[in-house]
């Protein structure tokens, strides 16, 4: 799979099968981050990353890109955040929570910058097949093959194949880093159960028709949620090109009263939406700065449309 999807030839000693992608993320930081190391963390980010960095005694350094940048950081931002204690970069494309997908040129530029400065890259590719509008999630080691010696790829079957409960992930990287991660895993959980591994093999090597049908359904729902959110005054929503999330900028709804309640933060806004119209969204504070909401379109078409239309009514 790394050869097919990421352009990376690997030996068996360079792959570890983990209990879900989250274990791979945790072990990746444990393998390459030392106490006091600074880890550049593009924001908005998945909530596990800063916690996993701190569990490795590292220091997460947030590098924020807003809706005006389609939630994608630049080399210039990364360079401005780099210090002599920077050892690692987290690179995620497509992104949870934003659905942002870096272009091949953007990915190459970031990879070449990391290579130049000897920075490890931990790249989470779990959404790599959930892309739309002709976008391609180019692996950073395909864009910059020389970076393979300082890159750990993490992945799993949870998203593309809707196998979250099977808990099968994997990590790929240089043999010395994988040896450290394997030693840690041997004392944490040992191997992944064999039934789940067989199921993952079937998903990865079997017909991909069902996965493609699911991707097409996500694509249809993605277009609906973006179109409907854009009808709400004060909401800006960049079109996500990957994953299954929309991440609207709702700063235009803050500092105002809605149904007699003054709302100053996206956390308060999420509470208001839940209390008033019984729609669940996740506030931006979970992923970085306030002022944003994460909305998943991994649900039925009717429920999705109903939820967004309730929001239209609330903020009309």
Other CB atoms closer than 10 Å to residue 62's CB: what's the count?
16
Domain termination site, one of 188, 205, 222: 205
Q: Is the pLDDT of residue 75 over 90?
A: yes
The CATH number given to whatever domain includes residue 180 is 3.40.640.10
Distance CA 271, CA 275 (A): 6
Q: Is the pLDDT of residue 5 over 90?
A: no
Region 213-233: what's the mean pLDDT?
Answer: 98
Q: Is the pLDDT of residue 12 over 90?
A: yes
60 neighbors 53 (Cβ within 8 angstroms): yes
Distance CA 57, CA 284 (A): 25
Distance CA 315, CA 275 (A): 14
Q: Is the pLDDT of residue 7 over 90?
A: no
pLDDT (0 to 100) of residue 1: 80
pLDDT (0 to 100) of residue 27: 98
Domain termination site, one of 169, 189, 205: 205
Q: Is the pLDDT of residue 4 over 90?
A: no
Residue with tokens 């199921």: 199
Residue with tokens 């999330």: 245
277 in the same domain as 256: yes
232 in the same domain as 189: no
User: Above pLDDT 70, what percent of the chain?
Assistant: 100
The CATH number given to whatever domain includes residue 299 is 3.90.1150.10
Of 30, 283, 288, nearest in space to 179 by CA: 30
232 in the same domain as 167: no
221 in the same domain as 88: no
Residue with tokens 């995620």: 92
DSSP states of 89-107 as a string?
EEEESS-TTT-----HHHH
Residue 221 sits in which domain range?
Answer: 209-314
pLDDT, tens digit, for every residue of 101-146? Answer: 999 999 999 999 999 999 999 999 999 999 999 999 999 999 999 9
pLDDT, tens digit, for every residue of 260-295? Answer: 999 999 999 999 999 999 999 999 999 999 999 999
187 in the same domain as 219: no
Binning pLDDT at 50, 70 and 90, where does residue 3 land?
A: confident
Binning pLDDT at 50, 70 and 90, where does residue 9 land?
A: confident
155 in the same domain as 217: no
pLDDT, tens digit, for every residue of 15-64? Answer: 999 999 999 999 999 999 999 999 999 999 999 999 999 999 999 999 99
Binning pLDDT at 50, 70 and 90, where does residue 8 land?
A: confident
CA triple 126-129-134, angle to 5 deg:
140
57 in the same domain as 92: yes
pLDDT, tens digit, for every residue of 85-95? Answer: 999 999 999 99
Domain termination site, one of 205, 223, 245: 205
95 in the same domain as 19: yes
3-class DSSP assignment, residue 302: helix
CA 201 to chain centre: 23
Q: Is the pLDDT of residue 179 over 90?
A: yes
58 in the same domain as 188: yes
pLDDT (0 to 100) of residue 6: 80
pLDDT (0 to 100) of residue 278: 98
Provide the domain count of the chain.
Answer: 2
165 in the same domain as 32: yes
Start-end of H helices in 102-169? 104-116, 140-143
Other CB atoms closer than 10 Å to residue 183's CB: what's the count?
12
**Radius of gyration (C-alpha) of the chain in whole angstroms:** 20
Which residues have CB under 8 Å from 178's CB, separation 6+? 13, 14, 15, 16, 31, 171, 172
136 in the same domain as 32: yes
30 in the same domain as 112: yes
């Amino acid at each position: 799979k790394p050869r097919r999807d990421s352009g990376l030839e690997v030996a068996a000693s360079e792959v570890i099968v983990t209990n879900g992608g989250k274990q791979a993320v945790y072990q990746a930081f444990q393998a390459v981050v030392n106490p006091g190391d600074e880890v550049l963390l593009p924001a908005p980010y998945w909530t596990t990353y800063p916690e996993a960095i701190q569990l490795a005694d590292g220091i997460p350094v947030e590098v924020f890109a807003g809706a005006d940048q389609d939630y994608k950081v630049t080399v210039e931002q990364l360079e401005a955040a780099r210090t002599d204690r920077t050892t690692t970069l987290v690179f995620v494309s497509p992104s949870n929570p934003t659905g942002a997908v870096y272009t091949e040129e953007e990915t190459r530029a970031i990879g070449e910058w990391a290579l130049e400065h000897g920075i490890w890259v931990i790249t989470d590719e779990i959404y790599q097949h959930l892309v739309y509008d002709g976008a391609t999630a180019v692996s950073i080691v395909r864009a910059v093959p020389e970076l393979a010696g300082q890159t750990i790829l993490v992945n799993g079957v949870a998203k593309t194949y809707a196998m979250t409960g099977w808990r099968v992930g994997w990590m790929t990287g240089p043999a010395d880093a994988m040896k450290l991660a394997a030693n840690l895993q041997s004392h944490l959980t040992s191997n992944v159960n064999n039934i789940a591994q067989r199921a993952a093999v079937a998903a990865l090597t079997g017909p991909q028709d069902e996965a493609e049908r699911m991707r097409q359904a996500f694509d249809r729902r993605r277009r609906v949620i973006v179109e409907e959110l854009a009808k709400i005054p004060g909401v800006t929503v960049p079109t996500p090109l990957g994953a299954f999330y929309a991440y609207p900028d709702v700063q235009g709804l803050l500092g105002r009263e809605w149904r007699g309640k003054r709302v100053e933060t996206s956390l308060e806004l999420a509470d208001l939406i839940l209390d008033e119209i019984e729609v669940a969204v996740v506030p931006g504070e979970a992923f970085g700065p306030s002022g944003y909401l994460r909305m998943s379109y991994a649900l039925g078409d009717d429920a999705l449309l109903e939820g967004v239309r309730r929001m239209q009514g609330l903020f009309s």
